[in-house]
């Protein structure tokens, strides 16, 4: 079993991918990995270049979210979960999410 650690943008300690990678590498435990959350990555103090520092196998789980097209500084928990998903038909919502996620995973060659 692996423990997946998530960097959370509002955290006072591990709020960025770089910080999480540093802590994880210092721990050097074979069963610790990164939980990569697209929302926290995009809305936090991360840069796209930070992804280049991720080593193969370090990401053990990923959360995909559609982030509204708005300034990152304005994103919060209310903008994270769009009403169309909250109020939508569960089957249709799951189907749309699966289609989008599979397309991203195919492009990343992990599916």
- Give the pLDDT confidence score for residue 73 in this predicted structure: 86
- φ, ψ of residue 36 to 5 degrees: the values are -90, 115
Which pLDDT score is estimated for 110? Answer: 79
Position 26 scores a pLDDT of 97
Phi-psi region of 28 (alpha: psi -120 to 50; beta: other; left: phi over 0): left
Write down the pLDDT at residue 6.
96
State how many domains the chain has.
2
Within this chain, do residues 75 and 109 fall inside the same structural domain, yes or no? no
* pLDDT value for 86: 83
pLDDT tens string for the chain (111 positions)?
A: 899 999 998 899 999 999 999 999 999 999 999 999 988 998 899 999 999 999 999 999 988 877 778 888 888 877 777 778 888 999 999 999 899 889 988 998 877
Strands (E), the chain: 3-6, 32-37, 59-63
- C-alpha closest to that of 39 among 21, 17, 13: 17
Cα 27 to Cα 16: distance, rounded to the nearest angstrom:
17
Does 72 share its domain with 89?
A: no
| 49 and 68 fall within a common domain | yes
pTM confidence score: 0.78
Residues 100, 76, single domain; the answer is no
Range of the domain at 61: 3-80
Q: Does 105 lie in the same domain as 70? A: no
What is the model's pLDDT at position 104? Answer: 85
93 shares a domain with 72: no
Based on the fold, state whether residues 12 and 36 are members of the same structural domain: yes
């Amino acid at each position: 079993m692996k423990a997946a650690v998530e960097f959370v943008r509002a955290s006072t300690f591990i709020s960025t991918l770089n910080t999480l990678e540093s802590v994880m590498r210092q721990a050097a435990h074979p069963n610790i990995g990164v939980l990569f959350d697209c929302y926290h990555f995009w809305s936090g103090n991360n840069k796209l270049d930070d992804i280049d520092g991720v080593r193969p196998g370090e990401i053990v789980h990923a959360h995909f979210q559609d982030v509204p097209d708005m300034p990152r500084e304005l994103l919060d928990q209310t903008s994270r979960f769009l009403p169309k998903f909250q109020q939508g038909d569960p089957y249709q919502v799951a189907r749309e999410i699966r289609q989008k996620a599979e397309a991203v995973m195919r492009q990343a060659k992990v599916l």
